Amino acid sequence: MRYLPHTEAGRRAMLGAIGAESIDALFADVPPSKLLSGLPNLPRRQSEMAVERALSAMAARNVSAGSVPFFAGCGAYKHHVPATVDHVIQRSEFMTAYTPYQPEIAQGTLQYLFEFQTQVAALTGMEIANASMYDGSTAAAEAVLMAHRLTKRRRAVLAGGLHPHYRAVIETLSRYSGFAVEAAPADPSHTFDAACDASTSCVVVQMPDVFGRVADLSALAAQTQAAGALLIVVVTEAVSFGALKSPGAMGADIVVAEGQSIGNGLNFGGPYLGLLATRRKFVRQMPGRLCGQTVDEDGRRGFVLTMSTREQHIRREKATSNICTNSGLCALAFSAHLTLLGEAGLRKLAALNHANAVALAKALAQVPGVEIITPHFFNEFTVRTPKPGAAVIDALADRGIIGGVPASRLWPDTPALNGLIAVAATEVTTPDDIAAYKAALHEVLHG
């Protein structure tokens, strides 16, 4: 991004056009307590070469996920992305595509979004899916608002195994929308049992949860629906769809997921891809865009945006969503990768993820003092160490191992979880990576 400084003459011209006498007059509505009282504690000026050297030195302190054994997960996973995916999404027709309001010039974009929706519906075991959301956390929050609209109730119940970042996004949207949220405490030994009453619109549960636990949610779905509420299932690891029973088959009413694991790299934390699918009867309250199939006047198959206004925000409080677009290029990457895999390929990929995680768990369990506390998992599990998890992770990083995510990073105010670390393995995890992790962990814990 270029930085183009303004001249004094330019500033005066802009202020004159605005009708403000000075910069201070322009920002007169900003409370004085929000203004800096002086200049920030930064060097006044540096040469371009000095700035480049400073930035290069800062960048050199970073460690890329592909350069060392990498076992971090908790909602963002390191998977292989085939070169074909990047080739497809970098075609100019897709890279520069405009919002597909005009179907006569956007059939390619609309068709791949339609195919993407079909794939997401099949993966989740649901009847209909939208054209994607911003990411998994915002999709989860939008699903809660959707449940409020459908049930005419105003209280959401969140399982303790829900990723705390997802919980925070739900709480933020709910707070400013006037809805109540009741969240169970994070406890890896606790079996979630929803406490629904006449005010409960939905129960939100993650599977696999943030501790990596896998469970059949069929009984929870029946319990929730018997109370007149909806079950929302959150999936942060999309590859798990290739191995586990689908949320739809377990009775979920709305399924949301983070699609980053398929076709999208870690990308320094984004952009990512939110998936949302539901039952057909709920379609008119489904947030986001929906692509539909139709025929033109000559009977040829075509695709259009359907059942939504051009822009949600023009409907203000009547809008079904705070999100009026979709993560189009990330959705295309997801769809391209999934098309390359096919059903058999996705199942093999999921099986490889699970096998590597099992091998990792067996190796770490051999380190004295390390306990695997997740009895059933897909490709991520939680370990308990005799030392604080954050200190262990820092020590492993000093030895060239990205060892996972300490629970204290997710729940800094919950001391009981300080010794826990969430550890993930994927198809890119090698036997040498596992051996290096085991040796480094033994050294950190026992010198």
pLDDT in tens, 205-228: 999 999 999 999 999 999 999 999
- Tell me what the pLDDT averaged over the chain comes to: 93
pLDDT at 75: 96
Q: How confident is the model at residue 431 (pLDDT cuts 50, 70, 90)?
A: very high
Query: What are the residue boundaries of the structural domains of the chain, listed by start?
Result: 83-337, 342-446
What is the average pLDDT across 237-264?
98
Q: How confident is the model at residue 191 (pLDDT cuts 50, 70, 90)?
A: confident
pLDDT at 163: 98
The answer to whether 146 and 269 have CB atoms below 8 angstroms apart is: no
pLDDT in tens, 120-154: 999 999 999 999 999 999 999 999 999 999 999 99
Q: State the Cα–Cα distance between residues 373 and 370, nearest whole angstrom.
A: 9
Fold of 83-337: Aspartate Aminotransferase; domain 2 (3.40.640)
pLDDT at 310: 56
Cα 414–144–239 angle (5° rounding)?
75
pLDDT at 313: 55
Asked if the 342-446 domain carries CATH number 3.90.1150.10, the reply is yes
pLDDT of 322 higher than 90: no
What is the average pLDDT across 389-401?
96
